[in-house]
């Protein structure tokens, strides 16, 4: 039987095309062994159980073909919460954690704010906000029934009860309901000319990525329809591509929002814009 050290050395070399071969190898091996990475560090001479090497090799082959690590393990951490993910849901990104943080700055604690997560996917935004603002009433909507099933499971697994989940094509099923805060990470990738390496989006659901020929189709809909669903003094915050900030600000101005501000991600790129209703 091979040791942890031997398996990781082999895997790191096998995944040389990855940006993070050692990290990928550690995460995948920990998943196969049902442990965490700290135990791998502490016990590098530990022998892998019978059969685990074959399971590990299968994951390595899939990862080598560009399959995302999160889909291989079935989970992804977001704001220190573990979320189940699968090919029906977008994998939560670190940039979206900044969107949640910015929203929480404007959602008071110990106040029953009404919050909408528009296009919830795995439920990462909704569950994070609801867990950190337990007095809020969070509504999470998505067009995909399969994604909503994952989101409901994530809320239940993390014992977050102050969320209601609904199927809706953007605001379509919400009628005249209004919210104090709307948070949205819409599809904003250009299709078919994405400009992205194929491996970055090949396995994720197109419904969660496809923003039309210029990447702004869904952004236009959300901004144009959003104002009537925001309570006076409330806000909407939208994540967008690094080169869409100017367009998003102009759309907010055209639709009579106020106090429009765009913020940067950790790489210094414009990543999300917030606007208020008067």
pLDDT at 194: 67
CB 187 within 8 A of CB 210: yes
CA count, 13 A, side-chain hemisphere, 160: 31
CATH architecture for residues 4-73: Orthogonal Bundle (1.10)
Sheet holding 179-184, edge to edge: 163-167, 137-142, 114-118, 179-184, 230-239, 270-276, 258-264
219 phi and psi angles, rounded to 5 deg: -60, -45
Q: How far does Cα 186 stand from its chain's mean position?
A: 10
Residue 197 has pLDDT above 70, yes or no: no
The mean pLDDT value for 102-108 works out to 97
The mean pLDDT value for 79-98 works out to 97
Q: What residues contact 207, with CB distance under 8 A and at least 6 apart?
A: 143, 144, 187
Residue 267 banded pLDDT, cuts 50, 70, 90: very high
- Pairwise CA distance, residues 114 & 135, whole Å: 9
Cα angle, residue 29 at apex, residues 59 and 27 outer, rounded to 5°:
90
Encoding tokens for residue 258? 């106020």
Q: How far, CA to CA in Å, does 166 sit from each of 114, 143, 161, 173, 225? A: 15, 9, 14, 8, 18
Domain boundaries, the chain: 4-73, 86-276
CB 219 within 8 A of CB 188: yes
Q: What residues contact 218, with CB distance under 8 A and at least 6 apart?
A: 119, 170, 186, 187, 188, 211, 212
Residue 75 has pLDDT above 70, yes or no: yes
Residue 192 has pLDDT above 80, yes or no: no
- Pairwise CA distance, residues 254 & 52, whole Å: 58
The mean pLDDT value for 219-239 works out to 97
Residue 201 banded pLDDT, cuts 50, 70, 90: confident
Predicted confidence (pLDDT) per residue in 39-65, tens digit? 999 999 999 998 899 999 999 999 999
Provide CATH code, domain 86-276: 3.40.50.150
pLDDT at 120: 98
Percent of the residues in the chain that have a pLDDT greater than 90, as a whole number? 91
Neighbours of 92 (CB within 10 A): 24
- Pairwise CA distance, residues 178 & 234, whole Å: 9
């Amino acid at each position: 039987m091979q040791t942890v050290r031997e398996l990781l050395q082999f895997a790191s070399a096998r995944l040389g095309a990855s940006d993070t071969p050692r990290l990928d190898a550690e995460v995948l091996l920990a998943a196969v062994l049902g442990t965490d990475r700290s135990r791998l560090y502490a016990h590098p001479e530990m022998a892998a159980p019978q059969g685990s090497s074959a399971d590990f090799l299968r994951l390595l082959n899939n990862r080598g073909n560009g399959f995302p690590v999160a889909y291989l393990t079935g989970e992804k951490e977001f704001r220190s919460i573990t979320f189940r993910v699968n090919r029906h849901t977008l994998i939560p990104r670190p940039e979206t954690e900044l969107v949640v943080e910015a929203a929480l700055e404007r959602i008071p604690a110990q106040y029953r704010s009404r919050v909408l997560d528009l296009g919830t996917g795995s439920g990462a935004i909704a569950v994070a906000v609801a867990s950190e603002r337990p007095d809020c009433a969070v509504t999470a909507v998505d067009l995909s029934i399969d994604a909503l099933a994952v989101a409901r499971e994530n809320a239940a697994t993390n014992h977050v009860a102050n969320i209601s989940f609904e199927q809706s094509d953007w605001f379509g099923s919400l009628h005249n309901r209004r919210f104090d805060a709307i948070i949205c990470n819409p599809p904003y990738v250009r299709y078919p000319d994405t400009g992205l390496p194929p491996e970055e989006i090949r396995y994720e659901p197109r419904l969660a990525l496809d923003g039309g020929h210029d990447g702004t189709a869904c952004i236009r809909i959300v901004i144009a329809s959003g104002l009537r669903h925001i309570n006076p003094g409330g806000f909407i915050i939208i994540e967008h591509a690094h080169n869409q900030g100017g367009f998003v600000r102009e759309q907010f101005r055209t639709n009579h929002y106020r106090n429009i501000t765009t913020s940067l991600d950790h790489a210094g790129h414009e990543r999300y814009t917030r606007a208020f209703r008067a």
